[in-house]
Amino acid sequence: MPKIELPPTKSSLRKLKEDLAFAYEGYDLLNQKREILAIEIVRKIDVIRKIETEFQDVLNRLYSAYRGAALDMGSDAVSLQSCFEMRGYYLHMDLTKFTGLKLPNFRLNLKNQIPAATLPPSSSAYDNAKELSRGALQILAQYATVTKSVIMLARELKKVQRRVNALEKIFIPQREEAKKYITDRIEEMEREEIFV
């Protein structure tokens, strides 16, 4: 006996067939969405790996530049100079649509640096380190964009997987069982009519 309680009539059978056709169509669409999401996650993970290697390279150069600036000016002077730096960027967030999701896109606009008038002029090593740190900020914005996209895509993939499993393991089998029961019952009633 099926878990769906429907009278064994032709109208119930027609409704079940319509529900099943709709469920199979939804199942196919969700499967396609699942594949697209998985492919996009893999693609973005490759981008993350490239950004991480690039960031590591920039970070190594940045640390060596700050070490050079600390040797030239002294570590206290570098700390003091960096505290008085004005913010040199604007962070913007745009949204791009992908399979019904709104994925963030962080952009970093760097503004021209105005040197602090109260402090003594900095060394060239400090200026070099400052420029490298601005480049590192750009890479961090890219990394944040791709990482947040992967997190959102993974959450969506999990939801789609749950829906696919619900259709595949619960909804469709129950409807198929009910369809078979109603079909058998209608055929039995027709045979009884013929016998009578």
pLDDT tens digits in sequence order for the chain, 196 residues long:
446 778 888 888 899 999 999 999 999 999 999 999 999 999 999 999 999 999 999 999 988 988 888 888 887 777 777 766 766 678 889 999 988 899 999 888 877 655 544 455 667 787 788 888 888 888 999 999 999 999 999 999 999 999 999 999 999 999 999 999 989 988 888 888 887 7
SS3 117: coil
- The pTM score is 0.76
Q: Write the DSSP symbol of residue 50.
A: H
Inter-CA distances, 191 with 161, 179, 196, Å: 44, 18, 9
Q: Output the pLDDT for position 91.
A: 83
Q: Output the pLDDT for position 121.
A: 62
Q: Write the DSSP symbol of residue 99.
A: T
Q: How many CB atoms lie under 10 A from the CB of residue 145?
A: 21
Q: Which residue has the tokens 């640390």?
A: 63
Q: Output the pLDDT for position 150.
A: 95
Q: Output the pLDDT for position 118.
A: 43
The token pair at 179 is 């369809």
Phi-psi region of 66 (alpha: psi -120 to 50; beta: other; left: phi over 0): alpha
Q: Output the pLDDT for position 76.
A: 79
Q: Output the pLDDT for position 2.
A: 47
